[in-house]
Amino acid sequence: MNTTTPMTATIYHNPDCGTSRNTLALIRHAGIEPTVIEYLRTPPSRKQLTKLIDEAMLKPREALREKGTPFAELGLDEAGITDDVIIDAMLQHPILINRPFVVTPRGTRLCRPSEVVLNILPPNLQPFTKEDGEVVVGREPLAIFPDADPR
């Protein structure tokens, strides 16, 4: 990344979600004003959604939100449900898309918990206090993404 060019970020955001709000605040805390896509109002296309999931190194089921959604009513908890069926359901019911997804030049992540975003932001952030009072700071990449480059 060129050090003279500010980092860009896009967040697929739900303002009613605390994790999404904390992730957005962490991005801004890093000095980045992201493009904010309220995905419930402006859902991604099939191509965009599959790209987000693929670039985040997830399977569609791993990006599927169950709580507070029609997950069970749609039978998505049944064995044998294909990735295409899951993607179709997410497109018809965007609330099924887990959030927030964040895209930066350093990668794409589903930021649950919100600190996962630190893996794709510039390092060495100052301490940050989440809505619940928990303090997080810039640090080495989280263990769940050991391949993340800390530079």
Residues involved in catalysis: 17
Half-sphere exposure of 66 (CA within 13 A, CB side): 7
Q: 11 with 35: CB under 8 angstroms?
A: yes
Structure tokens at 16: 């009613």
Crossing angle of the two packed helices 83-92 and 46-55, in degrees rounded to 10:
120
- Strand pairing category for 135-136 and 128-129: antiparallel
Measured from the Cβ of residue 76, the count of other Cβ atoms closer than 10 Å reads 19
Unique residue bearing structure tokens 């009513």: 73
What residues are paired with 135 via a beta bridge?
129
